[in-house]
């Protein structure tokens, strides 16, 4: 299995621009999570989906952030407009249903820098 | 709000030394996980502990879940440079599927 795939790995953009981060979860996993990691705040859960349906988006910082999961193999996290304080590493993780449902498998992350 | 506090935040030791990292909370968790994250990569699961008092060993790493399921520790024996990384604990609530609550992490550097 290829694991969780994220793209791009690095993104540099200017304040005000739209940023779209992409994630392909592990095939067969029913849960998908988006996290943000910074030195100051650590690893924060932004939103998670179960069977493509958003379950908890209480971690999404504000309306500039939106996430979609149009099918079981693809999800996007969009920031519009982006701001310098959005600079962070964004991780996508997926998890299977069942007894080991709490085990999360992380992608390599997208390192975002907003200038 | 459930919170997990990890200590120490930073640890710099020489190869061959032993160390213990702590993860504490005032909340009860149905299970607790330890992840290790290397630079430029995502966290990778090391172990899951479920039962209060449970001890699990992974080569030179020993993980313990507190009797009350509120805290956990990770002990590394004879640390090696390959152990260098960010160690994160994460707790899961009880009942149904619950999101993981992550601690801030312990950044370990093992010098040759």
* Chain position carrying tokens 């193999």: A73
Tens of pLDDT, residue by residue over B10-45, are: 999 999 999 999 999 988 888 899 999 998 899 999
Nearest-5° Cα angle at A46, A45 to A50: 90
Contact B31, B94 (CB under 8 A): no
Q: How far apart are CA A35 and CA A109, in angstroms?
A: 9
Tens of pLDDT, residue by residue over A47-105, are: 999 999 999 898 998 899 999 999 999 999 999 999 999 999 999 999 887 655 568 89
Which of B43, B98, B103 lies at the smallest CB-CB distance from A106?
Answer: B43
CA distance A82 to chain B (A): 22
Question: Which of B48, B94, B100, B104 best probes binding to A when mutated, by most A CB atoms within 10 angstroms?
Answer: B100
Predicted local confidence at residue A100, as pLDDT: 54
Q: In chain B, positions 79-98, which contact chain A (CB-CB < 8 Å)?
A: 88, 92, 97-98
CA distance B40 to chain A (A): 7
């Amino acid at each position: 299995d290829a694991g969780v795939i994220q793209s791009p790995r690095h993104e540099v953009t200017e304040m005000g621009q739209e940023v779209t981060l992409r994630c392909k979860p592990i095939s067969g996993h029913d849960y998908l999570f988006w996290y943000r990691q910074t030195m100051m705040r650590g690893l924060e859960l932004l939103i998670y989906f179960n069977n493509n349906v958003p379950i908890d988006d209480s971690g999404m910082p504000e309306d500039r952030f939106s996430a979609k999961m149009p099918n079981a193999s693809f999800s996007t996290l969009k920031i519009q407009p982006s701001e310098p304080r959005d600079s962070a590493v964004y991780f996508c993780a997926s998890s299977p249903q069942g007894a080991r449902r709490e085990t999360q498998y992380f992608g390599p992350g997208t390192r975002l820098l907003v200038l | 709000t459930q919170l997990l506090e990890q200590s120490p935040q930073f640890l710099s030791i020489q190869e061959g030394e032993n160390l213990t990292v702590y993860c504490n909370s005032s909340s009860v968790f149905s299970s607790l996980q330890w992840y290790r994250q290397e630079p430029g990569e995502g966290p990778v699961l090391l172990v899951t502990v479920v039962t209060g008092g449970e001890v699990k060993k992974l080569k030179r790493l020993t993980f313990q879940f507190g009797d009350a399921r509120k805290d956990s520790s990770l002990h590394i024996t004879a640390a090696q440079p390959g152990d260098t990384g960010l160690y994160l604990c994460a707790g899961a609530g009880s009942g149904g599927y619950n999101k993981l609550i992550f601690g801030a992490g312990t950044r370990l550097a093992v010098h040759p």
